[in-house]
Amino acid sequence: MIIVKGEIPVKEDHRDEAVALVQALAEASRSEDGCLSYEVYVQADRPEVIMIWQQWRSLAALETHFASDHVDAFLDAIPDMIDGQVTSSRYEVQAEESDDLDEMMELPRVLYGDEIIMH
């Protein structure tokens, strides 16, 4: 599974428009093959930052998403609303099978580059 976390800082006077644009992107993306989850959040303590959390079945599904018409439309519309640095992180999560219940109860491992991070 691929998890993507993105943060988009937006201009205060474009916040509502930007949130609506990201929500439309999320709605269109949720119907894509391989999309497990696509959520949009605005933090109470940082209302100028839109957060996007995505879960994809595979990297191929994510790449197909990035090539979609609704992503192109979003990328064409959002630049004038951005106020700062857009950030994005991608993680690959792998499940491990085990017959040992104690081992199965361990927290999942997230692969980030060559580093394995325990959460």
Residue 115 pLDDT exceeds 50: no
The phi, psi pair for 66, rounded to 5°, reads -60, -25
Domain segments of the chain: what residues?
2-118
**Contact between 74 and 6 (Cβ < 8 Å):** no
Instruction: Give the chain's length.
Output: 119
> For domain 2-118, which CATH number applies: 3.60.21.10, 3.30.70.260, 3.30.70.660, 3.30.70.100?
3.30.70.100
Task: Give the confidence band of 94 by pLDDT, cuts at 50, 70, 90.
Answer: confident
pLDDT, tens only, 11-57: 999 999 999 999 999 999 999 999 999 999 998 899 999 999 999 99
Residue 112 pLDDT exceeds 70: no
Estimate to the nearest angstrom the gap between the alpha carbon of 3 and the chain centroid: 6
Give the mean pLDDT of 100-114: 53
Give the mean pLDDT of 55-60: 96
Residue 107 pLDDT exceeds 70: no
Residues near 104 by beta carbon (within 8 Å), at least 6 away in sequence: 98
Distance CA 4, CA 24 (A): 18
